[in-house]
Amino acid sequence: TSAYNIAVIPGDGIGKEIMPHVQAVLEKATQGLVHFNYETFDLGAERYLRDGSTLPDDELERIKTKDAILLGAVGDPRIKAGIIERGLLLKLRFALDQYINLRPSKLYDGVKSPLANPGNIDFVVVREGTEGLYVGAGGAIRRGTPHEVATEVSINTAFGVERVVRYAFALAMKRRKHVTLVHKKNVLTNAGDMWQRIVDAVAKEFPEVTTDYQHVDAATIFIVTDPSRFDVILTDNLFGDILTDEAGAVVGGVGYSASANINASNEYPSMFEPIHGSAPDIAGKGIANPTAAILSTALMLRHLGIDAPADRIEVAVEADIKESATAQRFTAEVGADILARL
Ligand code: NAD
Ligand code: IPM
Ligand code: MN
């Protein structure tokens, strides 16, 4: 049996509640095949409130030595928005150069979509993970005065765009061979134009892949009115964040939406987490759906090249959803039901 070192960051709110079920499923699915050495990191709101740290350098360095990272969710209403999100989650994505944020959306058999005619929803959003409005370029001056100025600058580099564009086309080759670039090039004429030119250039190398383009505002319409038209949606960091919550909603809720933050050059560990947050509105009630986080472990296994257990987890989750998705279940019940199918 081969061994892998995994950093576990349960985080805050429902992240803490789902992580034990995630690890239990991962353990059972890989039993006898793979050995995981887990190191759990005490990072998130409690740690910050205790000693003011979000991600100390020595812990980041330790995380860098791991094969992969499992993260629950972070964010806490007691702490000013952005401190944990930027200081921990985005710091990890940036420091580990996780430039591909892969977010599949699939309407599973048995889940009730809020759409009357959802059709066959099965698309993947390839969201750029290290650039755009997320880099933190900009600042505030004259803060608190009537003349306050606040800027956030969107950084888009040809290097950063090209690598995510190539990834999207390569992924499309393994799927239905269609890439939709989503941007706002009618207004964001600098970045939008660069994204489109790079897509056009890379598309020439993938003659079997068809491409189209949608402005992000229109894309939000089609995700609701005609989601089956999408195969691979390629977009920037902020648009991808927004579109994937919407996509989560149309496939029955973000409780089913897995994600992977991938350093595709494999220089650093990749990170696997659900797309949802710490859900303070339901935290502590034991009702969070652990499915998205469990499906994220299947993405981790595939990234590590451990395909058979990934298949097992996906099959177990699909069967569980088919039988029980409409039932009201506690987190622990969903975890136990999925575990029992493995
Ligand atoms: P959220 O995703 O936490 O919650 C949005 C809604 O979805 C809430 O009604 C919540 O109850 C519901 N929901 C989320 N996950 C669920 C699950 N597994 N099962 C059932 N229902 C679920 O988004 P928010 O409320 O905007 O953010 C809360 C906090 O989480 C903030 O601090 C935010 O910054 C943070 N956040 C963190 C991550 C992350 O760690 N990756 C992602 C998104 C938001
Ligand atoms: C997500 C979250 C994060 C993002 C926040 C918490 C920084 O919303 O993973 O979707 O915007 O990427
Ligand atoms: Mn988000």
Question: Which ligand 2 atom lies nearest to the CA of residue 238?
Answer: 11
**Contact status, residue 69 vs residue 7, Cβ threshold 8 Å:** yes
Which residue among the candidates 106, 184, 185, 320 is catalytic per the annotation? 184
**48 included as an active-site residue:** no
Which residue among the candidates 97, 241, 320, 337 is catalytic per the annotation? 241
Looking at the CA of 133, name the nearest ligand.
2
DSSP H helices in 174-290: 189-203, 216-225, 237-250
Using the mean position of ligand 3's atoms as its centre, give its distance from the Cα of residue 241 in Å.
5
Pseudo-torsion of CA 256, 257, 258, 259, nearest 10°? -170
CATH architecture of 1-105+253-342: 3-Layer(aba) Sandwich (3.40)
Using the mean position of ligand 2's atoms as its centre, give its distance from the Cα of residue 246 in Å.
13
Asked whether the whole model's pTM tops 0.95, one would answer yes
Are 1-105+253-342 and 113-127+150-251 in the same CATH fold?
A: no
Using the mean position of ligand 2's atoms as its centre, give its distance from the Cα of residue 76 in Å.
13
Using the mean position of ligand 2's atoms as its centre, give its distance from the Cα of residue 25 in Å.
25
C-alpha 89: how far from its chain's center?
A: 11
Tens of each residue's pLDDT in the chain, 342 residues: 799 999 999 999 999 999 999 999 999 999 999 999 999 999 999 999 999 999 999 999 999 999 999 999 999 999 999 999 999 999 999 999 999 999 999 999 999 999 999 999 999 999 999 999 999 999 999 999 999 999 999 999 999 999 999 999 999 999 999 999 999 999 999 999 999 999 999 999 999 999 999 999 999 999 999 999 999 999 999 999 999 999 999 999 999 999 999 999 999 999 999 999 999 999 999 999 999 999 999 999 999 999 999 999 999 999 999 999 889 999 999 999 999 999
- Please state the residue numbers annotated as binding site: 93, 103, 127, 217, 241, 245, 277-289
The total of other beta-carbon atoms located within 10 Å of residue 266's CB is 9
Question: Which ligand 1 atom lies nearest to the CA of residue 72?
Answer: 40
The CATH number of 113-127+150-251, from 3.40.50, 1.20.120, 1.25.40, 1.10.860, is 3.40.50
C-alpha 184: how far from its chain's center?
A: 22
**134 included as an active-site residue:** yes
**Contact status, residue 181 vs residue 125, Cβ threshold 8 Å:** no
**236 included as an active-site residue:** no
CA dist 290 to 112, 192, 301, 319, Å?
17, 36, 17, 15
Distance CA 88, CA 8 (A): 13
Whose Cα sits closest to atom 1 in ligand 1? Answer: 277
Distance CA 326, CA 214 (A): 34
**66 included as an active-site residue:** no
Q: Any residues with Cβ below 6 Å from ligand 2, and which? A: 75, 85, 89-90, 241, 275, 277
**Contact status, residue 302 vs residue 124, Cβ threshold 8 Å:** no
Query: Closest Cα to residue 17, out of 223, 260, 286?
Result: 286
Local structure of residue 181 (DSSP, 8 states): E
Local structure of residue 227 (DSSP, 8 states): G
Question: Which ligand 1 atom lies nearest to the CA of residue 85?
Answer: 34
**217 included as an active-site residue:** yes
Whose Cα sits closest to atom 5 in ligand 2? Answer: 85
pLDDT of 243: 98
Query: Helix, strand or coil for residue 226?
Result: coil
Whose Cα sits closest to atom 33 in ligand 1? Answer: 75
Where exactly are the structural domains of the chain?
A: 1-105+253-342, 113-127+150-251
Question: Which ligand 1 atom lies nearest to the CA of residue 273?
Answer: 41
Query: Helix, strand or coil for residue 25?
Result: helix
Cα Rg, the chain, nearest whole Å: 20
Using the mean position of ligand 2's atoms as its centre, give its distance from the Cα of residue 218 in Å.
22
